[in-house]
Chains A and B, each alone.
Chain A
Amino acid sequence: MKKKIIAGLLVLILAGTFSLAAAGAGEAADDGTKTIAFVQGLSTDEFYISMKRGVQEMCDELGYKLIVDGPTKWDYTMQTPIVETMIARKPDLMIIAPVHSDSMIAPLQKVVNAGIPVITVDTNINEEIYLCNITSDNLQGGQAAADYLAEMLGETGKVAIMNTNVGVTTTEARAKGFKDELAAKYPNMQIVSDEYCEDEAEKAASIIQAVHLKHPDLAGVFGVNLYASVGVANGLDSKGVNIPIFSYDASPAVIEALAEGIIDATVVQKPMEIGATAVKMASYYFNGEEDKITNVMVENVIATKANMDDPEVSKWFYVSD
């Protein structure tokens, strides 16, 4: 508790912009214990917090030391210095969720040049300097949402996408997956609106109200994240409209909205499994079993109010600490 307060004060002094180095984390050990560095894409996001748990549990199991850090914003100018600090701490391997597919190539080349192999998780870079990539692919998540929504609607009807910000790769990939899948497989379904709400639920609410006014036969909506889907739900609910609303991820806020029937379904990724798999791959590298190292695509699951109490589904819900 005291530590937390001191850390809090420090952040205040630094005006909150700079991320804290993981307090008290040990440096690379000399006793032969392998040390893994894990760099998150966004340290405050439940998805990456859950991934960290998966990494931690597998490290504990295999006897590795773990050092973790990540930027508080999805921003390569904030992730790069963290990567550089990590090089100085001399880990034996780095697991990273790069926040930009091009801009993070150079910093990660430095890591590789320092003799530290890299495994990318969730996102990736456009140059194969990494051992392998473990992901659950946002594109595929968007496709899954499209398939499930099509099934709910009998493969027909008008749907809308509520996106967040222009140029954010993860959410754009979700929307693209959704759009491509509908276009390819469901000729009777039509996307009538594809708007950006700037991560503001109140803006999403007003936008979807306008969309519904124009298209009263709107049959379903895919919101690419919490704010988009909750905003859409709020906007439609206040007009007394009840149509399927799809969300993405399984943070506690999304799960609460799902439990209360505000949203109808959500694409659940498996960050814990992604993390654990990455550490598994690291162990193959440490043990010289390099033939076992491979890219892995972790399947998403879809949670609905009906299946959310099933432990096979709920075990994938994200944790917040």
Chain B
Amino acid sequence: MGEPILSVSGVYKSFGHVQALKNVSFTLNKGEVLGLVGDNGAGKSTFIKVLSGVHKKDGGSINYEGKEVDFASPKDAIAAGIETVYQDLALAPDLPIYSNMFLGREMVRPGLLGKLGFVDKQAMRDSVLTNITKLKATLNHVEQEVGTLSGGQRQSVAITRAVIWGKKVIIMDEPTAALGVEESAKVLDIVNEIKKHGITVIFISHTIPHVMEVSDRICVLRLGETVADLKTSETSYEEVVQFITGSKTQINRK
């Protein structure tokens, strides 16, 4: 058993009359992959936005690394080590892979040149290469412009970037949604790799087989509520679907 890194209990959030989140609860250990699933409107996106600091929760508690947190802005969440890889990936298509991975925190050269803002391209390329190798990402050429990469490769860039930046929790929003079979497989491989490096992942997806493949635990949301917090090894595709559709309602079988 790992130590818990993120413990969420009773989180709720409403927008006017609409109660988007009623009671979201789960506990996640360091280095685990949590599959967050649910039908459209179940509250996945809203919860992710609360966790990444876009929205403020109305109540409940989020305990991160043993401390109660309430992020005021995305910057706070990022500073705390929680990175969200959005569907649009937030990459600059005209820049090469390595520049994208270091965007906003470029390595500078030692001495005066560094103070003047001269970047150390070689060091960045080396670091990117090391991390790509570490994560077994299929990116062959760090100089390649991101705009010329395939969808899966772009995912790899965005994920590797989060790893390079030393993130502890990576939230992935539908990383395989737009990808073909082969490309999806590559992304799932990377998720498995980063788990080995002790990074915690929240994996949001509609594609239940992908969730089953990479996750350690599955949290099912329905109508803004956690309706199931399951161990992946102890559940099945059918059971997860039943929880999603509401034909099964047992809670927290641990």
Do A and B touch each other in the complex, judged by CB within 8 A? Answer: no
Which residues in A have some Cβ–Cβ distance to B below 8 Å? Answer: none
